[in-house]
């Protein structure tokens, strides 16, 4: 029997979610792992994705929302094409990561946690990356830049523009 709800094609995103659940499991203890992989695949976790997951894993939506908003790794808002995460761990902070963050805020004209209007960059502060030997460090799309000064900021933005 075909679907009567009007849209015959299942949302691509939900197909992806089904694949992830198939691979990991639907037990509640896999919730965080599933959310992490779904976010990696889709970029963020909007409400309809959470609702679908609630049905698929048989967990109340309120609980899923509770988990998504509890952990700093998850976001319910779309993020920019390039994610700049500045480490604000102690080692980086002592070596001036705060100045670098301020310089990014100035040059990109956003506050930490925000995305630029053109959707290109999301500026985030993150917890210790464990690369303290290179402090201060930041991570753009998984690539780590170390031993930074405020003068390096323009160059880094330029690389991804």
Give the residues lining the site for other proteins (CB under 8 A).
27-33, 35-36, 63, 66-67, 70-74, 88-91, 93-95, 126-135, 137, 144, 146, 150
At its nearest, how many Å lie between other proteins and the CB of residue 114?
17
- Over the range 81-109, which residues count as b (16 or more CB within 10 Å of their CB) and which as e? ebbbbbbbbebbeebebeebbebbbeebe
At its nearest, how many Å lie between other proteins and the CB of residue 151?
8
Convert 52-115 into a string of H (helix), E (strand) and C (coil). HHHHHHCCCHHHHHHHHHHCCCCCCCCCCCEEEEEECCHHHHHCCHHHHHHHHHHHHCCCCCCE
Task: Rank residues 116 and 128 by Cβ distance to other proteins and give the closer one.
Answer: 128
At its nearest, how many Å lie between other proteins and the CB of residue 135?
6
Task: Rank residues 42 and 120 by Cβ distance to other proteins and give the closer one.
Answer: 42
Task: Rank residues 36 and 116 by Cβ distance to other proteins and give the closer one.
Answer: 36
Task: Rank residues 11 and 28 by Cβ distance to other proteins and give the closer one.
Answer: 28
| 108 touches 121 (CB < 8 A) | yes
């Amino acid at each position: 029997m075909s679907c009567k709800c009007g849209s015959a094609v299942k949302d691509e995103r939900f197909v992806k979610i089904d694949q992830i659940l198939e691979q990991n499991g639907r037990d509640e203890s896999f919730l965080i792992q599933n959310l992490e992989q779904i976010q990696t695949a889709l970029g963020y976790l909007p409400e309809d994705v959470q609702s679908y997951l609630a049905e698929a894993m048989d967990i109340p939506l309120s609980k899923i929302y509770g988990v998504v908003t509890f952990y700093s790794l998850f976001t319910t808002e779309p993020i920019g094409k390039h994610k700049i995460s500045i480490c604000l761990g102690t080692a980086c902070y002592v070596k001036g990561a705060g100045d670098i963050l301020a310089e990014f805020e100035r040059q990109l004209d956003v506050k930490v946690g925000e995305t630029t209007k053109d959707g290109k960059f999301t500026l985030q502060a993150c917890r210790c990356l464990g690369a303290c030997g290179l402090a201060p460090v930041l991570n753009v799309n998984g690539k780590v830049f170390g031993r930074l000064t405020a003068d390096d900021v323009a160059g880094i933005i330029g690389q991804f523009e």
